[in-house]
Amino acid sequence: MEVLVKSTIMPCPLLVSSMLERGANLFSDVAIISIRPDGFRHSYTYRDLRRRSRQLAAALQRAGIAQGDRVATLMWNEHEHLEAYFGVPSVGAVLHTLNLRLHPDDLAYIVNHAQDRFLIVDDVLLEVFEQIRPRVQFERVFVVDHGCGALPAGCESYDAFLAESIVEPSDADLAEDDAAAMCYTSGTTGRPKGVLYSHRAIALHSLAISLPDQLNLSCHDTLLPIVPMFHVNAWGLPYAATMNGSKQVLPGRNLRSKTLLDLLQNERVTVAGGVPSIWLAVLHALETDPSRWNLTQGLRLLVGGSAAPESMFRRFDKLGVHVIQAWGMTETTPVATACKLTPYMHGWTEDDRYAQRAKHGLPLPFIEARAVDDQGETHKDGKTAGELQVRGPWIAGSYYGLDQADKWTADGWFRTGDVATIDTEGFVKIVDRLKDLIKSGGEWISSVDLENALVAHQAVKEAAVIAVAHPKWQERPLAVIVLKDGSDVDASELRAFLGERFGRWQLPDAFVFVSELPHTSTGKLLKSQLRQDFNDWRWERS
Amino acid sequence: MEVLVKSTIMPCPLLVSSMLERGANLFSDVAIISIRPDGFRHSYTYRDLRRRSRQLAAALQRAGIAQGDRVATLMWNEHEHLEAYFGVPSVGAVLHTLNLRLHPDDLAYIVNHAQDRFLIVDDVLLEVFEQIRPRVQFERVFVVDHGCGALPAGCESYDAFLAESIVEPSDADLAEDDAAAMCYTSGTTGRPKGVLYSHRAIALHSLAISLPDQLNLSCHDTLLPIVPMFHVNAWGLPYAATMNGSKQVLPGRNLRSKTLLDLLQNERVTVAGGVPSIWLAVLHALETDPSRWNLTQGLRLLVGGSAAPESMFRRFDKLGVHVIQAWGMTETTPVATACKLTPYMHGWTEDDRYAQRAKHGLPLPFIEARAVDDQGETHKDGKTAGELQVRGPWIAGSYYGLDQADKWTADGWFRTGDVATIDTEGFVKIVDRLKDLIKSGGEWISSVDLENALVAHQAVKEAAVIAVAHPKWQERPLAVIVLKDGSDVDASELRAFLGERFGRWQLPDAFVFVSELPHTSTGKLLKSQLRQDFNDWRWERS
């Protein structure tokens, strides 16, 4: 073999610290706003963020944190959390954001599984910490003081820890595939599984989501990440915003829709990210009192986490607010697809455009997506569903300390467990979770499609559709409905309403009205619970 | 030492082929237009581009091209060139774009230095090939047939070569730091020096230049790269456009301003890239006949290669056309900085905004820039000039087969040879080439600033300012002027004109009027020639 010609480009790793350096060097006076638990508006700049991140880094080094060590956070969206986002990886340690909504059993499990050494915790979250404290062994615990409680025994002040550090952190010799951050999945089945994000994955993800055809993030933006920073790095938005020098507004713990609308208005937010339930509540508040808020023209709302109903796009458009759907999961850093119309789609009918916008969109550059059916065939007809599989430089290739090879195909693609169609334009549409599909008489019925159609009915607040065993058809759909306060509707009206869009065989065979639905810690419908609740259901006719 | 925690992200190299796959999969019907030498408009799609690139790849493999082998091109901007951009690197070979404007001595030198095995050449460029043919040893030469000449003996048809290939290319096992393309510098001193671009550098560069705060490239754009594809990969624009699925318009060899304006209008171009001399000619044509062309609203002109005069920004703005300056060089893949105003600058005075836009802008994400003075100090005051040094994942770390370590600092930064200031906002402004600065009595005078001021005078077509040895001041500036046809102006008027903006000591001591100025092969002022011409100049007063 002859010698191959390597490039003459300098070896220069993609590191998280480069993004903070850019923000702090080029946008030093741009503001980062944090809303305290008591509503106080704290404001500082990228220059301050760098100073304090470096203080944290130096303090961690001095306290004995070495490359590869895990430092956990139990925090809301606030500047101290952002300091950890950059300070922890800068010394080669791994930021482990704990999802405060997890059950204490799961929280204790992941802290022990990740072998977290230190914890940084908000004082308002000390009660969560106390629930797991007997079962975990943090060497040191630093409390962010919002004046909401005395420092418990055995804990230290975060600010005092930073103040100790009078020297600059020593340079860490980092490789771009070193872990910078880690998250655990909040799956409804099995134990949480850990994903370790590399510096490189976070850097590439920041570039890709910022592109004009994706989330279009720039220094002209003011970003409000409502999606928690303890949930897949708030979709990577804080990293991208820092790289781009965007103003950031970190909303803390108060996520009531009117508070969020006040923030959107007062901080002149241009782009915000949250799950559908957040935006549906915001939409309701806006529609109820349309003249109350004066939002920024061209405001974009990023929606992800679960499928947004098409009606949400239409209703926000009427208010001059543009909703953009993206898709991803813990294993995809997390954004893998984003949905923006391509040029010729602007000539489509309004209905076709909305149907397209309610999809999950195109894979980002360097990400590949395919939908593989039971026969191992891939389809691009927009109709034939298959398991969504993805591959690319910010997709997980394994779980931390866990052998679960069945989540990857023999040819190296990650099996998402989502069922999707891909249309001729390449747009991905998540039809359902593999385990939530209803298999009726050899055909698949999408529970998600039925749920999204149901919530478009004016009387319906929330809807879940689950598969229930059926003697003839194997499975049939059952709809579980929560009505809006003061609303009334019966099963036959809902059947007729769905009948306008679905075939008869796809309609739920029964409608059950309840006062609330069970949810996971991250606000997703807990269908496993519902399936259990309706395990003994008997169909009236067979 | 304990074991460091590596990430669990899948190893997935950044490859040039991923960008073509994205364009062809997601934007298969988007057009790529090529203007033939006879003016014929050829149109095909990204689907066709992939098919033919793969045919080229398979044909190259069948012909014995192995990983690391160099394949040269001598071609204008056209779809066959784009096929080589993707087809050659896809099999692990290295695309070597030959600059057809180089002197035959230099061309022969770099072909031999790079050990190019094959050549693809436009029939209209066969005469360039014939000039070097006796001195080089291509194994095979493929001619793109535009009906402009018979196939010379020993040459083969490019289309016939592609047609031979009936199989798919075999997968090459590529690493992202493998070389994908190479260019030689067209420096005015010394032999051309080769830079080998990695797949990774091209991929990262494509992401970074596409960002909203940089060139803002998207699938909604129609891109016209006037900058030649044989000149630092047309600034990487064809790669980025393919990744984003933009419509591309490849203008071929006819770059007259009226032809370009017709193209801009008829193809509804939204973004075009070229050197200042191209845009000044276009500007002149537009101003002469303003109602003749109906250009796309919001048209952006990217300018680079040499400093654009501030007057150009103002005059284009009056016509509704937005000029964006970027900076880079062969060693930087090539874009390293781009100039867009940041939010608070929109509140500045008009003059301050134009002064800022005429700078070279902010370093792209993951690129660092510093200006280092003679004492090794860096400055960010916008006044103190120093050598511009850059570092980052698409900056060259060495030259191919050449030991020239003095071009890199001990701490690993590339020494650009440009002199720049960096202001408090972080905006880089190239003041001059290190060798073109005028050292007068211990102070530096920028020849570029004087030249840009001179061409703002209505009678001046082109201006060069050079340093000439001076008995008292060491060096003093001499201005060499080409007047517009029919214009007349004398030295005292030009002195007075410059006196409005410059200190007395900065003004040229003499003005010489000539009919034309010498240029390099890439259209840059050939100052080394001018310095030689005026070597014996005697100042009248001392």
Is there a single domain that holds both residue B232 and residue B311? no
Look at residue B2 in the predicted model and tell me its pLDDT.
45
CB contact under 8 A, A177 and B9: yes
Interface mutation target, options B4, B10, B198, B331, chain A, most CBs of A under 10 Å: B10
Among B80, B310, B331, B387, the active-site one is: B331
Tell me if residue A379 falls in helix, strand or coil: coil
Q: How many domains does chain B have?
A: 3
Is there a single domain that holds both residue B487 and residue B354? no
B405: contact with A, CB 8 A cutoff: no
A208: contact with B, CB 8 A cutoff: yes
Burial bucket for residue A392 (CB in 10 Å: 0-12, 13-18, 19+): buried
Strand bridging mode B362-363 / A118-122: unpaired
Is there a single domain that holds both residue A128 and residue A169? yes
CA distance B182 to B276: 25
Instruction: Give the ipTM.
Output: 0.89
- Distance in Å from the first CA to the final CA of chain A: 70
Among the partner-chain residues B6, B11, B394, the one whose CB lies closest to the CB of A178 is: B6
CB contact under 8 A, B207 and A392: no
CB contact under 8 A, A12 and B391: yes
A424: contact with B, CB 8 A cutoff: no
Of residues A209, A290, A278, A295, the one with CA closest to residue A244: A209
CA distance A273 to A221: 13
Concerning whether B185 is annotated as a catalytic residue, the answer is yes
* Any domain includes B176: yes
Domain of B486, CATH number, reads: 3.30.300.30
* Any domain includes A6: no
* Any domain includes A119: yes
Q: Which residues of chain B have pLDDT under 70?
A: 1-4, 187-190, 442, 522, 541-542
Among the partner-chain residues A4, A25, A343, the one whose CB lies closest to the CB of B178 is: A4
Give one DSSP letter per residue of B210-258, joined into a string. Answer: HSTTTT---TT-EEEE-S-TTSGGGGGHHHHHHHHT-EEEE-TT---HH
Question: What is the arithmetic mean of pLDDT over A325-336?
Answer: 96
Among B444, B475, B520, B537, the active-site one is: B444
* Any domain includes B9: no
- Per CB-CB distance under 8 Å, the chain A contacts of B2 are 66, 68
* Any domain includes A4: no
CB contact under 8 A, B5 and A394: no
What is the least distance, in Å, from the CA of A451 to any CA of chain B? 29
* Residue A315 neighbours by CB under 8 Å, 6+ apart: A283, A287
More confident residue, A436 or A377: A377
Chain A residue closest in CA terms to B182: A7
Is there a single domain that holds both residue B310 and residue B230? no
> Which residues are bridge partners to B327 per DSSP?
B337
Question: What is the arithmetic mean of pLDDT over A122-148?
Answer: 96
Is there a single domain that holds both residue A393 and residue A519? no
pLDDT tens digits, B37-47: 999 999 999 99
Look at residue B190 in the predicted model and tell me its pLDDT.
67
A298: contact with B, CB 8 A cutoff: no
Is the alpha carbon torsion for A289, A295, A300, A305 positive or negative? negative
Is there a single domain that holds both residue A401 and residue A509? no
pLDDT tens digits, A168-205: 888 889 999 999 999 998 655 568 899 999 999 999 99
Look at residue B155 in the predicted model and tell me its pLDDT.
97
Look at residue B187 in the predicted model and tell me its pLDDT.
59
Crossing angle between the packed helical segments B237-244 and B16-26, to the nearest 10 degrees: 40
Amino acid letter, B30: V
Average the pLDDT over each of A142-146, A266-270, B187-191, B212-216 and give the range with the smallest value.
Answer: B187-191
Tell me if residue A29 falls in helix, strand or coil: coil
* Any domain includes B6: no
A95: left (phi over 0), alpha (psi -120 to 50) or beta: beta
More confident residue, B18 or A308: B18
Interface mutation target, options A2, A3, A10, A223, chain B, most CBs of B under 10 Å: A10
> Which residues are bridge partners to A361 per DSSP?
A428
A392: contact with B, CB 8 A cutoff: yes
CB contact under 8 A, B207 and A365: yes
Is there a single domain that holds both residue A421 and residue A451? no
B417: contact with A, CB 8 A cutoff: no
CA distance A32 to B147: 62
Look at residue A202 in the predicted model and tell me its pLDDT.
98
Beta carbon pairs, A and B, within 8 Å: 221
Q: Which residues of A331-348 are buried (b: 16+ CB within 10 A; e: fewer)?
A: bbbbbbbbbbbbbeeeee
CB contact under 8 A, A216 and B212: yes
Chain B residue closest in CA terms to A334: B9
pLDDT band at A1 (very low <50, low <70, confident <90, very high): very low
Among the partner-chain residues B6, B10, B426, the one whose CB lies closest to the CB of A396 is: B10
- Per CB-CB distance under 8 Å, the chain B contacts of A422 are none
Look at residue B3 in the predicted model and tell me its pLDDT.
52
Look at residue A190 in the predicted model and tell me its pLDDT.
67
Is there a single domain that holds both residue B305 and residue B447? no
Cα–Cα separations (whole angstroms), residue A165 to A56, A60, A66, A85, A309: 8, 9, 16, 18, 50
Question: What is the arithmetic mean of pLDDT over A433-460?
Answer: 84
Is there a single domain that holds both residue B351 and residue B217? no
Helix H, strand E, coil C: the string for A127-145 is: HHHHHHHHHCCCCEEEEEC
CB contact under 8 A, A11 and B177: yes
Which residues 325-384 of A are in CB contact (within 8 Å) with B? 333, 342-343, 362-363, 365-366, 368
* Any domain includes B4: no
Amino acid letter, B441: G
Is the alpha carbon torsion for A53, A55, A56, A60 positive or negative? positive
Interface mutation target, options B4, B8, B422, chain A, most CBs of A under 10 Å: B8
* Residue A132 neighbours by CB under 8 Å, 6+ apart: A104, A107, A108, A111
Average the pLDDT over each of A224-238, A380-394, B207-221, B435-449 and give the range with the smallest value.
Answer: B435-449
pLDDT tens digits, A61-84: 999 999 999 999 999 999 999 999
Most confident among A359-373, A396-410, B177-191 (mean pLDDT): A359-373
Which of B199, B214, B244 represents a domain boundary (last residue)? B244
Domain of A26, CATH number, reads: 3.40.50.12780
Is there a single domain that holds both residue A516 and residue A410? no
CB contact under 8 A, B9 and A196: yes
CB contact under 8 A, A218 and B218: no
What is the least distance, in Å, from the CA of A223 to any CA of chain B? 14
Look at residue B166 in the predicted model and tell me its pLDDT.
75
* φ, ψ (nearest 5 deg) of residue A172: -95, 145
* Any domain includes B509: yes
Is there a single domain that holds both residue A401 and residue A494? no
Q: Residue B264 is encoded by which pair of tokens?
A: 């801009």
Which residues 33-62 of A are in CB contact (within 8 Å) with B? none
pTM attached to this predicted model: 0.90
- DSSP type of residue B267: T
Which of B244, B273, B293 represents a domain boundary (last residue)? B244
CA distance B55 to A118: 57
- Per CB-CB distance under 8 Å, the chain A contacts of B11 are 177, 397
Answer for the pair B538, B474: CB distance below 8 angstroms, yes or no: no
Indicate the average pLDDT of chain A: 93
B4: contact with A, CB 8 A cutoff: yes
Helix H, strand E, coil C: the string for B460-503 is: EEEEEEEEEEECCCEEEEEEEEEECCCCCCCHHHHHHHHHCCCC
Angle (CA) A72 A75 A77, round 5°: 125
Is there a single domain that holds both residue A214 and residue A92? yes
Chain A residue closest in CA terms to B18: A366
A393: contact with B, CB 8 A cutoff: yes
CA distance A462 to A132: 33
Which residues 234-253 of A are in CB contact (within 8 Å) with B? 243-245
Look at residue B433 in the predicted model and tell me its pLDDT.
76
The residue behind tokens 């309004």 is A350
Domain holding B508, by residue range, is 437-541
Tell me which residues of A are annotated as active site. Answer: 185, 331, 439, 444
Look at residue B1 in the predicted model and tell me its pLDDT.
37
pLDDT tens digits, B450-461: 998 999 899 999
Answer for the pair B470, B476: CB distance below 8 angstroms, yes or no: yes
Which of A244, A278, A312 represents a domain boundary (last residue)? A244
